[in-house]
Amino acid sequence: MSWADLSVERMALMLIDSTRHESFRFAPGGRVSATVGVHDGPLAAPVWHWRIVQDHLVIATTPQDGDVVADLHEPTLDGDVLSVRRGAEDACRYQVSWTPAAHARVLP
């Protein structure tokens, strides 16, 4: 499976993890709204940028060469759970959902 098969521009991911909190809501135009932190602890809500590079979904601080926040690759979908490799880490799992195309919008 490739990222092109997954309609990234309408996708939302919520990390399945008992300690870390991480959610991404992707939008057309390469923007991604994120919420990151720890459960029962501080959270941040940045707007980052996403792009697909050699079948890696790269989330970065700027559209082109910013600091890479996440490098997700080797996606496999099982129902509403997306398993990916994150950089050199072991696989992690996300709850996945999609925004209907009629409701997707480009962030300014």
CA distance 38 to 74: 25
**Per the domain annotation, does 103 fall within a domain?**
no
What does the pLDDT look like over 30-71, one tens digit per residue? 999 999 999 989 999 999 999 999 999 999 998 887 799 999
**Any idea how long the chain is?**
108
Q: What is the CATH number of the domain that holds 55?
A: 2.40.128.50
The Cα 28–Cα 13 span in angstroms is: 15
What's the whole-model pTM score? 0.84
Q: What is the model's pLDDT at position 102?
A: 44
Instruction: Confirm whether 70 is domain-assigned.
Output: yes
100 pLDDT band (50/70/90 cuts)? confident
Q: Quote the domain boundaries for residue 61.
A: 3-96
pLDDT of residue 32: 94
**Of 81 and 104, which is predicted with more confidence?**
81
90: in domain = yes
Residue 57 in contact with residue 48, Cβ under 8 Å? no
Check residue 84 and give its pLDDT.
95
Q: Is 101 helix (H, G, I), strand (E, B) or coil?
A: helix
